[in-house]
Chain A
């Protein structure tokens, strides 16, 4: 009977280390890197500097908005804040978490993690931000709730400005939200539906288009005695 000690010969591999059968440590000793205190201190300093920088950038925006009435677009705000955050994050991941000195596998794991986050955010945003986009070709035949010019029953203002449920003529080329606005203007309620109020966001438009406006009918309706 053969002796079967862990160091028995493997046909192919001559130099076989029983404690490391797959050669994980043959080329690098990543597990035991000692980061110097100097590196740690430098990284900490940069992290604090970047923190001050990002706060300063934001305060600066607010200051020029107040002092010079210059509104910096939100995209710039997000871009600056996120760029600095990514740099800070990289510093933490590479040096504090030692990914720079660590096994490649851990970097791969982290990369896959970020990829998954990207997929999650990307595809969800794809839906949520394209909800009011209807295919150009079909736009003329499809409106929310039906197709073509037709009469349908929905909550609306009647001639006396009363909020009632009943038959409404739907115009195929105008979205429901616009339709309501046009009708209101015709009825002399324009001042309550003007464009100077808070912009109707994508979600609000889509809510109205999907018929969910029943939930919040009150906020953009005028009382008849207002005028």
Chain B
């Protein structure tokens, strides 16, 4: 293989990231990096289309039952929704920063940023479960036939809660998956796997995390800010 000379250190004392080679079926590290990014963008495409079904259901039912959606939305706490938006935006920033850290070989900062991003993911989940899902579920504001709230704004309010739980639940699942992926990245960064010549993993995890953020950017106003 003629590509082994392309800037790959063979010295065992060199950091791990500088010793990692590309997979044998790629011609260069560069090609592997590009392939991974194309692959990830394609995967993000599938994620967006997965959510498009939920957005579609939202659009159809909101047009059918505008009053139910308005009434249901007023049950949501816009303040906690906004705070959660902020949490995700900041975590999006820190993961973008962590890619920069890897590129600049700032190992300590890299680990901090990854850990902070994962923490934000958990914080988001905590707020969602503890302060939003929990009280609402207990009060009977549940989807479909589980709905048990004594004063619905319109008879169709259960549909609103179905859309709300389906959309935010699917999103929350993605937050949890993203957090797990970032924790794996953190463990790998601990081993010194990421540096200026090898940061594909962080880049990919970052793209996923940004998508989670992107979906929330649209879900938040659609669900919390209806009037």
Name A residues whose Cβ lies closer than 8 Å to a Cβ of B.
5-7, 18-21, 24-25, 31-32, 34-37, 40-41, 43-44, 47-48, 51-52, 54-55, 57-59, 61-62, 65, 72, 74, 77, 81-82, 84-85, 88-89, 92-93, 95-97, 102-103, 105-106, 109-110, 112-114, 116-117, 120-121, 124-125, 128-129, 198-199, 201-203, 219
- Say yes or no: A55 contacts B225, CB within 8 Å: yes
Q: Known A6-B2, A62-B227, A65-B227; judge A18-B66 contact (CB<8 A).
A: no
A44 closest partner in B (C-beta): B93
Q: Known A21-B27, A109-B45, A124-B56; judge A96-B86 contact (CB<8 A).
A: no
Chain B, 152-175, contact with A by CB distance < 8 Å: what is the 0/1 string? Answer: 001100000000000000000000
Q: Known A110-B45, A121-B56, A202-B63; judge A96-B31 contact (CB<8 A).
A: no
- Say yes or no: A51 contacts B89, CB within 8 Å: yes
Residues on the A chain within 8 Å of B224, using CB: 58
Residue of A7, A85, A109 near B38 (CB, 8 A) is A109
Q: Main SS of the interface on chain B?
A: helix
Q: Main SS of the interface on chain A?
A: helix
Task: Tell me the number of A-to-B contacts counted with CB atoms below 8 Å.
Answer: 168
- Say yes or no: B66 contacts A74, CB within 8 Å: yes
Q: For the complex, what is the distance from the CA of A125 to the CA of B58, rounded to whole Å?
A: 11
- Say yes or no: A18 contacts B86, CB within 8 Å: no
Residue of B6, B55, B60, B100 near A128 (CB, 8 A) is B60
Residues on the A chain within 8 Å of B155, using CB: 198, 219
Chain B, 84-121, contact with A by CB distance < 8 Å: what is the 0/1 string? Answer: 01100110110111011001100000000000000000
Residues on the B chain within 8 Å of A116, using CB: 49, 52
Q: For the complex, what is the distance from the CA of A96 to the CA of B33, rounded to whole Å?
A: 18
- Say yes or no: A202 contacts B64, CB within 8 Å: yes
- Say yes or no: B89 contacts A85, CB within 8 Å: no
Which A-B residue pairs are the 8 nearest by beta carbons? A81-B221, A58-B225, A19-B28, A113-B45, A44-B93, A203-B64, A117-B52, A106-B41
Q: For the complex, what is the distance from the CA of A62 to the CA of B70, rounded to whole Å?
A: 11
A110 closest partner in B (C-beta): B41
Residues on the B chain within 8 Å of A5, using CB: 2
Range class of the B interface residue count = 35 or more
Q: For the complex, what is the distance from the CA of A24 to the CA of B155, rounded to whole Å?
A: 58
Q: For the complex, what is the distance from the CA of A162 to the CA of B2, rounded to whole Å?
A: 90
Is B207 an interface residue, CB under 8 A from the partner? yes
Q: For the complex, what is the distance from the CA of A7 to the CA of B33, rounded to whole Å?
A: 22
- Give B96 Cβ to nearest chain A Cβ, in Å: 5
- Say yes or no: B38 contacts A105, CB within 8 Å: yes
Residues on the A chain within 8 Å of B19, using CB: none
Q: Known A35-B96, A77-B227, A121-B59; judge A92-B214 contact (CB<8 A).
A: yes
